[in-house]
Amino acid sequence: MSFDVLCCFQILTLSFWLRERCEYGFQPQIASVVNFRCRTVSGTVISFLEEISMETRVAVMSIIVENGENVERLNAILHEYGEFIIGRMGIPYRKRKVSIIAIALEAPQNTISSLAGKIGSLPGISVKTAYSSVTCED
């Protein structure tokens, strides 16, 4: 059995073990996060590539840019999450010297939260996220 397959098997086994425990009220939020496929180099796990079974949510992220110095970093972060972005609209409000950006997303909730956290950590940029109650299991 290759290390990739072994790693996936071990993680899935852990996932099933956690799900079984969840029925008794233990750590229900953990079970949905552990179904990952691994990437290895020379038998060493270097990253988890993707979730095997993933529940996604539709969300809208509103971003206010007050400091134009961080726009390049903002665009780099958005590019990193490009596979989850449905659409993007940017409005420069020159009168007030701010830019307003709206982003529609479909992604796992932890991915959306991670993106919002990275954007929110940029100086002069604020972000708020609104989630739809619509979920989809891909």
3-state secondary structure of 26: coil
Cα–Cα distance for residue pair 120/127, rounded to 1 Å: 6
3-state secondary structure of 61: strand
- Predicted TM-score (pTM) of the model is 0.61
CB atoms within 10 A of CB 59: 23
Cα–Cα distance for residue pair 54/45, rounded to 1 Å: 21
- pLDDT, residue 19, reads 52
Cα–Cα distance for residue pair 86/101, rounded to 1 Å: 13
- pLDDT, residue 53, reads 52
> Cα angle vertex 12, ends 10, 18, to 5°?
105
The CATH code belonging to domain 55-137 is 3.30.70.1150
Q: What pLDDT, in 10s, does the model give residues 78-132?
A: 999 999 999 999 999 999 999 999 999 999 999 999 999 999 999 999 999 999 9
Cα–Cα distance for residue pair 127/134, rounded to 1 Å: 21
- pLDDT, residue 62, reads 98
3-state secondary structure of 65: strand
In the chain, CATH 3.30.70.1150 sits at 55-137
Q: Do the Cβ atoms of 2 and 41 come closer than 8 Å? A: no
